[in-house]
Every structure is written in C-alpha cells, then in structure tokens.
Structure 1
Amino acid sequence: MKLRHGINPQQEVAHAEPVTPGRWPVRLLHGEPSFINMLDALNGWQLVREASRALGRPAAASFKHLSPAGAAVSGAMDEVTAELHGVDRHEVGALASAYLRARDADPKSSYGDFAAVSHPVDAELAELLTGMVCDGIVAPGFAPGTVERLSKKKNGRFLIMEADDGFVPPREEAREVFGLRLTQQDDETELSSSLLRVVDGALPEAAVADLLLGLAVLRYTQSNAVCYLRDGMTLGIGAGQQSRVDCTRLAGAKVDTWWLRRHPGVRALSFRPGIRRQDRINWQIRFIEGDLTPDETRRLAEALSTPAGELAADERAQWIQRLDRVAFASDGALPFRDNIDHAHRHGVQYIAEPGGSIRSDEVEDACREHRITLARTGLRLFHH
C-alpha cells in the first residue's frame, strides 16, 4: 500500500505491506493514509478490541499522534457531553456513547483525531462523525450506507479502514531503526481481573472495570504513561513524559479540567450564535485555566453573548474536592509516594501499578494514609 507520505510530508516515499504476504490486519476502504494515520489506526484498533474483550462492552478511542486522547466503553452520558453534541443522553446508542465519552475526556486534543471503535459503525455514529473534526476511523465493519456517507467527509479525504477482527499478529515483531533491525516477542498477556492483586482495601466491581480499561489504554499509550478513569471512561491520560510524576500531574490537570467543565459557572457561559462547537470547547477550557492573554480576553468577550465572571480559587477548590471514585493506572512502577499524593488531589480512590520499586513500602504507606485501595499487577506495559 502506498502511503500519502511518511511521518513528515518531506518524507515523500512511504509504503505499508503485511508481514505475512496477503494477510492484512486492516483494509483501506476510502482515502489515502499517511504513516502516522496507519500507526494511529493500528494502535487504536488494538486498544478498543482488547478493552471490549476484557469488559464485554463496545469500546472506542480517540487517537492523536500515537497515543489516545481518550478512551471509553459504552455507558451513560452526563448532560454536559450530551448537550455539547446535541444528543438525547437517554436515547444514544451503545457505540455512539462509547465514542462520545472517549472524545469528552480531552475534547481539545481530540480535534482532528483518528477514531477507533470495537464494533461495526452504525448509522448513528456515522451521522455524529459527519459533524465532527475527525480525520478517519477504523472499525471491524460498517453498516450499509455508512461508508458512502463518511467518504464525503473532509471533501472526500476522510480515511475509512476496516479491521480484521480475527487477525492474529506474528509472535515476533520487528522494527528497523537507523539501519538496525530490532525484534522482540509479542506481548500476549491477557488483561483480566486476576492481574489486580489487592495490597490493602477492597476493589468494587466498577473500580475493577475502570482499572482494566486503564491497563488497555496504557498498553497503547506512549510511555511513561498514566491514566485516570471513572465510570468506564478516561478522564485524563498522561503520555510520553520522562518523569512519571510529571505525567501524573499533567494527566491530573486534565482531570480537573474535565470536572470543572461540569461546574455551574462554566456551564453558564453563553456564547453568541454561530460560535462553533470546538471553539466553545476551547473557550471553556481557557476560561477554566484562567491565564488568558490580553488577546484571548478580548476574543472570549467577543464570543460570549453575556459577560463572564471568574471562578474564584476557593470555588474551584471546593468543586474539585467533590470528585471521587476515580481510578488510576500506571504503565510502570510508581517510584515515589509523590505520585500517590498528586493522584489523591484528583479524587483517586483506586490505584493499579506493577509494583517492584525500591520504595514500594512508601507507596503503600501513602495509599493507606489517603485511604486509597492499591492493587499490584506485576505487569509493566511500556509502549514505544
């Protein structure tokens, strides 16, 4: 398969070919993918397939630059997500709910994403995608008429890929870097509740499901990576940081933003007619962050139909303290208790990590201090 270009446009010559001749894990139905599009599609498909198999529910992911901006399984949507996309939260279908919940974790980053879903695309999801800034989708099938409908998106440049649900990858994977071929055994460890060995406390069924989703997310997120989850959806994903605590803090800030988008003061922002959905999202987030430049202050005022006040620091803090039942998963061992202390600030009550650091005792003590249930998996999930 000839690709549009490599990782960068100046890398004009790029191709994809199956390791086993004639055995493709995905089939291109429409569009011309780039090198990154292929990587997002392959990683996204593996994530949603694994999450769906582990939890027995439709799963979706919103991918950007080789890591998920958000992921979720089907479930109830709150009023904020439903209002944003103009859907009835009581009537939305399972697959559509999974994707909307996945995209809502970090809607700013999901702008121009590559979508992945575990089940065949139905008419409802296809209709939703036509109104979103999304570059493509990978799925194990498409309902009649959905490929034709989606192929018109982006002036005919929308990418549509069909995954082979029965594809089994080779037991050995290889990568060529700077003239050197690296090979390793494929990681075939199945994600199941048996991995979650509780050190202290108890894991409710909902927390087990959230942590399993978190492990699936981390398996296909650039390391170092951590993930905050609640009610079958990610609230914040931190990826590719050299310091794990920096990853924990960055993802935690996304959790706070997700939760503050539900604050009455943010929901009360009234935008002028004609302001696009993505612009409303971006302005809500900048309003929450609060460090607007003079130009942003002017443009936000122009976008609003009525002047906006400010969220006072104590009001923000009180609202954030109301968030609870958050699960936290880490792809590698938590090396210091600072990760626990920061995670606690974002409503975390359940943690899963491989264990095995030289300060594991301090991590355990911190969890007891904050009344956090700690589970050790013994499984590192680095992804590079």
Structure 2
Amino acid sequence: MKLRYGINPQQKTAHAAPMTPGKWPVRLLHGEPSFINMLDALNGWQLVREAGRALGKPAAASFKHVSPAGAAVSGAIDEVTTELYGVANGEVGPLASAYLRARDADPKSSYGDFAAVSHPVDDELAELLTGMVCDGIVAPGYAPGTVERLSKKKNGRFLVMETDDAFTPPHQEAREVFGLRLTQQQDEVELSSTLLDPVVGDPLPDTAVADLVLGLAVLRYTQSNSVCYLRNGMTLGIGAGQQSRVDCTRLAGAKADTWWLRRHPGVRALRFRPGIRRQDRINWQIRFTEGDLTPDETRRLTEALSTPARELTADERAQWMQRLDQVTFVSDGALPFRDNVDHAHRHGVQYIAEPGGSIRSGEVEEACREHRITLARTGLRLFHH
C-alpha cells in the first residue's frame, strides 16, 4: 500500500506491506493514509479490541499522534456531553456513546483525531462523525451506506479503514531503526481482572475493577511513560510520553481536573454568541477552567461571549474538586516514589493499579494506606514505544 507520505511530508516515499504476504490486518475502504494515520489506526484498533473483549462492551478511542487522547466503553453520557454534541434527550446508542465519552475526555486534543471502535460502525455513529473534526476511523465493519456517507467528509479526504477481526499477528514483531532490525516477542499477556491483586486497602468494587482493566488496555497502546485516570468506564486524563513519571501523573491529573471543572455550574453558565463553533466553545471552556488567560485571550473570550463571564474563585474550585471521587489510576510502569500517590489523591483517586517492583514499593504502599487508597499490583509492565 502506497502511503501519502512518511511521518513528515518531506519523507515522500512511504509504503505499508503485510509481514505475511496476503494477510492484511486492515484494508483501506476510502482515502489515502499517511504513515502516522496507519500507526494511529493499528494502535487504536488493538486498544478497542482488547478493551471490548475484556469488558464485554463496545469500546472506542480517540487517537492523536500515536497515543489515545481518550478511550471509553459504552455507557450513559451526562448533560455536559449531551449539550455539547447536541444529542437529543441524552439518548444515544452503545457505540456512539463509547466514542462520545472517549472524545469528551480531552476534547481539545481530540480535534482532528483518528477514531477507533470495537464494533461495526452504525448509522448513528456515522451521522455524529459527519459533524466532527475527525480525520478517519478504523472499525471491524460498516453498516450499509455509512462508508459512502463518511467518504464525503474533508472534501473526500476522510480515511475509512476496516479491520479483520480474526487477524492474529505473528509471534515476533520487528522494526528497523538507523540500519538495525530489532525483533521481539509480541506481548501476548491477556488483560483481565485476574491481574488485579490488592495489596493495600479494601477489596476492589466491580466498577473499579472494570475501570482498572480499561486503564491497562489504554496504557498498553500509549507512548511511555504513561498513566491514566478513569471513572465510570471512561478516561478522564491520559499522560503520555513523559520522561518523569510524576510529571506524567501531574499532567494527566490536570486533565482530569479540567474534565471535572467543565461540569461546574459556573462553566456551564458560559453563554456564547451565535456562530461560535463547537470546537471554539470547547477550547474556551477549557481555558476558562484553567484560569490563566493571557490579556489577548481575555479579550477574545469576552468577544465570544454574549454575557460577561464570572471567574471561579479559588474556594469554588476547591469545593468542586472535593466532589470528584471514585477515580481509578493506572500506571504502565512501577511507581518509583510515593509522590505519584500523593498527587493522584488530589484528583479523587481511590484505586490504583501498577506493576510494583520499585525499590520504594514500601513507601508507595504506606502512601496508599495514609490516603485510604486500594492498591493493586499487576506484576505486568506495559511500556509502549
């Protein structure tokens, strides 16, 4: 398969070919993918397939730059998501709900995403996608007429890819870097609740188990170092590709706070002038919750609003954040210091899963006891590069 270009446009020669001749994991139904599009599609599909199988529900992911901006399984969508995406009465089918929940985790980053879903695309999801800034989708099938509808997006440049749900990758995987061919065994460990062995705290409730398993699937396909915060079957914040794990924890925690603050009545009270696009409303909601607008941003936000905004006070923010609870936290590698636990606790975390094995694991356990957090050790590192 000839690709539009490599990782960068100046890398004009790029191709994709199956490792086993004739056995493609995906096939192109419409569009001309780039190198990164292929990486997003392949990683996204693996994530949703594993999450969907492990949890027995439709799963979706919103990918940007080879890491998920958000991921979720099907479930109820709240009033904020309902209002933002214009869903009538908040009623939406399982597959569409999974994608809306995935995209709402970090809707600023999901602008121009690559979508992945675990089940065949239905009419409802296709209709939602036609109104969103999204570059492509990968799925195991498409309802009649949906490919034709989606192929009209982006002036005909929208990518539509179909997976082979029965495809099994080779036991060995390889990549070539600077003249070297590196090979390794596929990571074939199955993700399930059996990996979650609590060592601190009370037994895990079923909802926390499901969230932690989803988190494991998310981090298996997120650039390391990586952590994620989850609640009710969806990610609230994903931190990816940081050299310091605690920086990753703080970054993802800030995203989780933003997700929760977008639900504050003061943020929901923002009234935008007619004609302000959905993505611009999203971006302004996020900047408003972050609270550090530049003078130019303050001016432009004022122009975008039909009525003046009242900034949230520090006390209002703190009181609202205290209401965020039942959050789970998953790390792809061992927590090296207790500071990760201390920071996670600030964002409503009550359940943590990590591989264990750090020389300071005792300090991590003690921090969990202090904060009354249930800690589960998986014994499974999930680095992804």
Q: One fold, TM greater than 0.5?
A: yes
Amino acid at match of 1:67: S
Deviations 1:99-119 (A, max 9, x none): 000000000000000000000
Code of the aligned partner of 2:277:
R
- Residue type of the alignment partner of 1:138: V
| SS of match in other structure, 2:309 | coil
Q: Which residue of 2 aligns with 1:11?
A: 11
CA distance in 2, matches of 1:88, 1:227: 30
- The equivalent residue for 2:290 is 289
Tell me the residue number matched to 1:102.
102
Matched, 1:31 2:38: no
Q: In 2, distance between residues paired with 1:263 and 1:202? A: 31
Q: Distance in 1 between matches of 2:77 and 2:88?
A: 9
Deviation at 1:234, TM superposition (A): 0.1
Residue 79 of structure 1 pairs with residue 79 of structure 2: yes
Deviation at 1:33, TM superposition (A): 0.2
Contact 1:224 / 1:247 at 8 angstroms: preserved in 2?
A: yes
- 1:54 corresponds in structure 2 to 54
Match for residue 375 of structure 1? 376
RMSD (CA atoms)? 0.5
Aligned-partner Cα distance in 1 for 2:312–2:59: 35
Aligned length: 384
Q: Which residue of 2 aligns with 1:181?
A: 181
Partner of 2:207: 206
Residue 111 (structure 2) aligns with: 111
- Residue 82 of structure 1: how far off its partner (Å): 0.8
Instruction: Check the 8 A contact 1:222/1:383 in 2, yes or no.
Output: yes
The amino acid of 1:303's aligned partner reads: A
SS in 1 for 2:88: coil
Stretch deviating more after TM superposition (292-301 or 176-185): 292-301
Task: Measure how far apart 1:282 and its partner are.
Answer: 0.1
The code of the aligned residue for 1:317 comes to A
Letter aligned with residue 145 of structure 1:
G
Q: Provide the secondary structure at the position in 2 that maps to 1:2.
A: coil
Secondary structure of 1:339 counterpart: helix
Which amino acid is 2:362 matched to? D
Whether 1:259 and 2:265 are equivalent positions in the alignment is no
In 1, distance between residues paired with 2:306 and 2:141? 43
Q: TM-score, normalised by structure 1?
A: 1.00
For structure 2, list consecutive stretches of 5 or more residues without a partner in the other structure.
Answer: none
Quickly say closer, same or farther: Cα 1:336–1:89, change in 2 above 3 A: farther
CA distance in 2, matches of 1:187, 1:89: 43
Q: Residues 60 and 71 of structure 1 are in contact (CA less than 8 Å); yes or no, is this contact kept in structure 2?
A: yes
TM-score w.r.t. structure 2 length?
0.99
CA deviations over 1:188-247 (Å, ceiling 9, x no partner)? 000011100110222000000000000000000000000100000000000000000000
Task: Say whether residues 1:20 and 2:13 are aligned partners.
Answer: no
Offset at residue 88 of structure 1 (A): 3.0
- How far the C-alpha of 1:140 sits from its partner, in A, is 0.1
Q: CA deviation at 1:369?
A: 0.3
Per the TM alignment, residue 324 of structure 1 is displaced from its structure 2 partner at its CA by: 0.1
Identity of aligned residues (%): 87
- Tell me, in whole angstroms, the C-alpha distance in 1 between the residues paired with 2:89 and 2:235: 18
